[in-house]
Chain A
């Protein structure tokens, strides 16, 4: 017998009266869920000859894949980069609170820190599935310390580093190991960075460019070595210049490896990026847009702001917060999508894209408090 025997006995839930985001469009279709995954109802009908065990009316709402935040430094009084004996509780608190923002998976982000902090904190943030306890942890995003002094932003200068001669060993020594690490942001103009990028990419870690004064040529080389992401585009990098567009130029570069495109995060909170800048980037390269909250504004606020600022379609705004981050991390078969077989992590939104309810693995993990009469 196939291993799915147990799952086949799990109840089938049919979410009706809704519009679901599938294939880049909002379709008037029901969403079927079983055993924590999105189910193909046609297969259920013709092969198993079964109907739904439970129907839930979604009141005409939009069902979108759960949002994925790949850069969140903390929130609700918690700072992930603070060395504490109990980092786990801080991560758990944030994981639970962001459910109300529609986030079902995230990458806790550590800013530039001393070695001791990395060695102490990293082992306390394991990859973890989401559920009623909170959004899932996909892995840690290490933003620094191998970044540019000039573009450090709020990162502490004392702990910035450049690569030693045996660069990859230096990286391992700095972080104390790469278990639990999903994304590393670095500045590609630093010496030996290309070999580091190649080594990290070979380990399946996503390399992102940010906090950097790299020119376009250096940035393109970094992409050729394996970099796939740009951390908060426009912020902490050289501004676009018509003779050397810098990292921003990657959005339209023709020197990227064939078949690959670059993803980029933008903090669409209304403060970090001017709406016109959001529009320029999105229009230049719509398939690469990733919405970030960065722990400042809630993710759903950023999605709404991005929609309003760029005038893009609802589908585009939703994909920027779900499908694109999943594609960046190579998870698009399981996350960031409502395709059959994907994890049933989704968010129920009203027409103005306010979160009404959040589901992880088909289980309701958060819903808005209705005012009781």
Chain B
């Protein structure tokens, strides 16, 4: 894995956004070659989404040839409920960028046949050519998406009942009323995310520190499902200082020492504007070298 440690939440968000930007631009997506991006919800990725929106507004990044697949959605919550993940994605990302609605995919928690909906989602990912980069977060109980402790590490998209830890963590979005929090959700499986060609996990805040410790310094364990990514060939963990509080000093020092190398992934920072300039310049060459 690459463990990227930044000082504060804002810098971690920015690093992650820059990384996504570079990956999309270097992939050079087009009408026959979409960049498939897996996306999370929650408070952790908000800063990253804001930066990505900024890059779009500055003309440095476009989502025209990007297809997105969200990780999860509550069961039984109306799509237009302010706390649904559809609302979250619309308000915090989709409405600010140039993505076409047909290229976005979010599980429908109100489908008549929930498992069929999940199976169809897996098919859509397959039809899109698989996920190029799956961005996710981590729960305080070490879960990825809603793969609660005890979820199979080779699971696929399915219905899950939420663990008490998750319900407690999410209560703040429902006026602090536990009774209002949905108890079930549709979620991509651990196996589904493992199938992605690359995985990036955003982890910020001291309250996530223990989960991060369990995920990367202890063994692969279905009680801490993020630990499954120890067996993925290309995983990046992007954290702030506070999230590393439960790690060994040795681990933190090692990865901080690698920042010189890892920062080359975001510097130089590419822009579609340069691609425009490159295109026009290369067309001016009368002869090939």
Please measure, in the bound complex, the distance between the C-alpha atom of A51 and the C-alpha atom of B80, giving whole angstroms. Answer: 18
Contact with B along A33-44 (1 / 0, CB 8 A): 000000001111
State whether A46 touches B100 (Cβ < 8 A): no
B residues 91-136 with Cβ under 8 Å of A?
91, 94-95, 100-102, 104, 106
B residues 135-149 with Cβ under 8 Å of A?
none
State whether B95 touches A51 (Cβ < 8 A): no
Identify A51's interface contact among B79, B86, B90, B100, CB under 8 A.
B100
- Nearest CB of B to A266, in Å: 37
State whether A45 touches B101 (Cβ < 8 A): yes
- Nearest CB of A to B283, in Å: 30
State whether B79 touches A46 (Cβ < 8 A): yes
State whether B80 touches A45 (Cβ < 8 A): no
State whether B95 touches A42 (Cβ < 8 A): yes
Contact with B along A43-55 (1 / 0, CB 8 A): 1111011110000
Q: Decide if B87 is an interface residue (CB 8 Å cutoff).
A: yes
State whether B95 touches A49 (Cβ < 8 A): no
A residues 344-363 with Cβ under 8 Å of B?
none
Please measure, in the bound complex, the distance between the C-alpha atom of A174 and the C-alpha atom of B79, giving whole angstroms. Answer: 55
Identify A41's interface contact among B95, B100, B104, CB under 8 A.
B95
- Nearest CB of A to B136, in Å: 22
Contact with A along B66-93 (1 / 0, CB 8 A): 0000000000000110000011001100
Known A-B contacts A42-B80, A43-B80; A49 and B101 likewise in contact (beta carbons under 8 Å): yes
State whether A50 touches B80 (Cβ < 8 A): no
State whether A51 touches B87 (Cβ < 8 A): no
List, in ascending order, chain A residues with CB within 8 A of B90's CB: 42, 45-46
- Nearest A-chain residue to B91, judged by Cβ: A42
Of the listed residues A45, A48, A49, A51, the one surrounded by the most CB atoms of chain B closer than 10 A to its CB is A45
Known A-B contacts A41-B95, A42-B95; A49 and B80 likewise in contact (beta carbons under 8 Å): no
- Nearest A-chain residue to B103, judged by Cβ: A49
- Nearest CB of A to B19, in Å: 27
- Nearest B-chain residue to A30, judged by Cβ: B95
List, in ascending order, chain B residues with CB within 8 A of A45's CB: 90, 94-95, 101, 104
List, in ascending order, chain A residues with CB within 8 A of B106's CB: 46
State whether A46 touches B86 (Cβ < 8 A): yes
Identify B87's interface contact among A42, A44, A49, CB under 8 A.
A42
A residues 209-268 with Cβ under 8 Å of B?
none
B residues 39-81 with Cβ under 8 Å of A?
79-80
- Nearest CB of B to A231, in Å: 41
Please measure, in the bound complex, the distance between the C-alpha atom of A42 and the C-alpha atom of B91, giving whole angstroms. Answer: 9
How many residue pairs link A and B with beta carbons under 8 A? The number is 26
List, in ascending order, chain A residues with CB within 8 A of B102's CB: 49
List, in ascending order, chain B residues with CB within 8 A of A30's CB: 95
A residues 16-46 with Cβ under 8 Å of B?
30, 41-46
Please measure, in the bound complex, the distance between the C-alpha atom of A44 and the C-alpha atom of B94, giving whole angstroms. Answer: 12
- Nearest B-chain residue to A42, judged by Cβ: B90
Please measure, in the bound complex, the distance between the C-alpha atom of A42 and the C-alpha atom of B85, giving whole angstroms. Answer: 12
List, in ascending order, chain A residues with CB within 8 A of B87's CB: 42
List, in ascending order, chain A residues with CB within 8 A of B104's CB: 45
List, in ascending order, chain A residues with CB within 8 A of B86's CB: 42, 46
Please measure, in the bound complex, the distance between the C-alpha atom of A345 and the C-alpha atom of B80, giving whole angstroms. Answer: 25
State whether B101 touches A50 (Cβ < 8 A): yes
Please measure, in the bound complex, the distance between the C-alpha atom of A43 and the C-alpha atom of B80, giving whole angstroms. Answer: 8
Please measure, in the bound complex, the distance between the C-alpha atom of A42 and the C-alpha atom of B87, giving whole angstroms. Answer: 8
- Nearest CB of B to A301, in Å: 36
- Nearest CB of B to A199, in Å: 43
- Nearest A-chain residue to B108, judged by Cβ: A46
Please measure, in the bound complex, the distance between the C-alpha atom of A44 and the C-alpha atom of B95, giving whole angstroms. Answer: 11
A residues 57-74 with Cβ under 8 Å of B?
none
- Nearest CB of B to A161, in Å: 54
Please measure, in the bound complex, the distance between the C-alpha atom of A42 and the C-alpha atom of B95, giving whole angstroms. Answer: 8
Please measure, in the bound complex, the distance between the C-alpha atom of A246 and the C-alpha atom of B32, giving whole angstroms. Answer: 76
Please measure, in the bound complex, the distance between the C-alpha atom of A43 and the C-alpha atom of B100, giving whole angstroms. Answer: 14
Please measure, in the bound complex, the distance between the C-alpha atom of A44 and the C-alpha atom of B79, giving whole angstroms. Answer: 12
Contact with B along A190-223 (1 / 0, CB 8 A): 0000000000000000000000000000000000
- Nearest B-chain residue to A49, judged by Cβ: B101
- Nearest CB of A to B57, in Å: 11
List, in ascending order, chain B residues with CB within 8 A of A42's CB: 80, 86-87, 90-91, 95
B residues 188-227 with Cβ under 8 Å of A?
none
Please measure, in the bound complex, the distance between the C-alpha atom of A372 and the C-alpha atom of B244, giving whole angstroms. Answer: 61
Please measure, in the bound complex, the distance between the C-alpha atom of A44 and the C-alpha atom of B91, giving whole angstroms. Answer: 14
Please measure, in the bound complex, the distance between the C-alpha atom of A50 and the C-alpha atom of B101, giving whole angstroms. Answer: 6
- Nearest A-chain residue to B79, judged by Cβ: A46
List, in ascending order, chain B residues with CB within 8 A of A43's CB: 80
List, in ascending order, chain B residues with CB within 8 A of A51's CB: 100-101
Please measure, in the bound complex, the distance between the C-alpha atom of A173 and the C-alpha atom of B94, giving whole angstroms. Answer: 61
Please measure, in the bound complex, the distance between the C-alpha atom of A49 and the C-alpha atom of B95, giving whole angstroms. Answer: 12
Of the listed residues B87, B91, B95, B106, the one surrounded by the most CB atoms of chain A closer than 10 A to its CB is B95
Please measure, in the bound complex, the distance between the C-alpha atom of A50 and the C-alpha atom of B79, giving whole angstroms. Answer: 17
State whether B95 touches A46 (Cβ < 8 A): no
- Nearest CB of B to A95, in Å: 36
Please measure, in the bound complex, the distance between the C-alpha atom of A46 and the C-alpha atom of B78, giving whole angstroms. Answer: 12
- Nearest CB of B to A230, in Å: 38
List, in ascending order, chain A residues with CB within 8 A of B95's CB: 30, 41-42, 45
Please measure, in the bound complex, the distance between the C-alpha atom of A3 and the C-alpha atom of B86, giving whole angstroms. Answer: 27
Residues of B near any A CB (own CB < 8 A):
79-80, 86-87, 90-91, 94-95, 100-102, 104, 106
Q: 21 interchain pairs (CB within 8 A)?
A: A30-B95, A41-B95, A42-B80, A42-B86, A42-B87, A42-B90, A42-B91, A42-B95, A43-B80, A44-B101, A45-B90, A45-B95, A45-B104, A46-B79, A46-B90, A46-B106, A49-B101, A49-B102, A50-B101, A51-B100, A51-B101
> Which 3 A/B pairs are nearest by Cβ-Cβ distance?
A49-B101, A45-B101, A42-B90
New contact pairs (19) apart from A42-B91, A46-B90, CB-CB < 8 Å = A30-B95, A41-B95, A42-B80, A42-B87, A42-B90, A42-B95, A44-B101, A45-B94, A45-B95, A45-B101, A45-B104, A46-B79, A46-B86, A46-B101, A46-B106, A48-B101, A49-B102, A50-B101, A51-B101
